[in-house]
Amino acid sequence: MIDFYTWGTPNGRKVSILLEELDLPYQVKPIDITAGDQLAPDFLEISPNNRIPAIVDRETGMSLMESGAILLYLAEKEQRFLCAGQERWAMMEWLMWQMGGLGPMLGQVHHFLRFNKGAAPYAEERYSGEAHRLYKVLNKRLSDRDYVAGAGRGEYTIADMAIWPWISRFEWQEVDLKAYPAVCNWYQRLAARPAVQRGYQVPTESGPVPLP
């Protein structure tokens, strides 16, 4: 059993989607970040950086914070949704691209365009421009393949699961997803997966998955 500490954010949904894809038993422990639950001493014992998501694997006693580390841990434990051989490094490359670029930059877009629109025009322009640059990078990667990593046309891996929840907030980013057709097709392909749809609703019902 996995104790899963999360909230309805892209980083949390990465892990809930993987848990659903793996069909692992897990217990949701909602951490309401709007109410300051992430600062509770008990949660800080599990996640010293006071961020969701975090897990405790009761089977192994392993406690982990940081979504990328959790994805790798669960996928390696179950030996699923990973690439083999040299393609493993392509998978890691795109996972790190999400962790170091797409997530942080789109997070800034949400902050300035969604929650503080008009407060800092320079920041809006800067981060919106970077968001579109990153969408172009992803669109080019997916232009001749179905998934971001894997041989041939690719295979569905944790790299896709890491990226998809951030793209699911394209409306927050004021991005027309249809302007990036390869990303749009990939996004809808993943959105049709039952496990993705279930994972999107963790820890609380969030309405239907946004579609372009």
Bridge partners (DSSP) listed for residue 65: 54
Nearest to 155 by CA among 179, 189, 195: 189
For CATH 3.40.30.10, list the domain ranges present in the chain.
Answer: 2-78
Bridge partners (DSSP) listed for residue 149: 155
Q: What is the pLDDT of residue 6?
A: 98
Bridge partners (DSSP) listed for residue 29: 5
Q: Which residues of the chain have pLDDT under 70?
A: none
Q: What is the pLDDT of residue 181?
A: 98
Distance (Å, whole) CA 21 – CA 202:
13
Q: What is the pLDDT of residue 81?
A: 98
Please state, as a whole number, how many other Cβ atoms lie within 10 Å of the Cβ of residue 114: 13
Distance (Å, whole) CA 134 – CA 162:
15
Are 200 and 20 a contacting pair, CB within 8 Å?
Answer: no
Q: What is the pLDDT of residue 168?
A: 98
Please state, as a whole number, how many other Cβ atoms lie within 10 Å of the Cβ of residue 98: 30
Q: What is the pLDDT of residue 91?
A: 98
Instruction: Note the pLDDT tens digit of each residue in 150-201.
Output: 999 999 999 999 999 999 999 999 999 999 999 999 999 999 999 999 999 9
Q: What is the CATH number of domain 87-200?
A: 1.20.1050.10
* Backbone φ/ψ region at 207: left (φ over 0), alpha (ψ -120 to 50), beta: left
For CATH 1.20.1050.10, list the domain ranges present in the chain.
Answer: 87-200
Distance (Å, whole) CA 78 – CA 90:
20
CATH classification of 2-78 is 3.40.30.10, yes or no? yes
Q: What is the pLDDT of residue 179?
A: 98
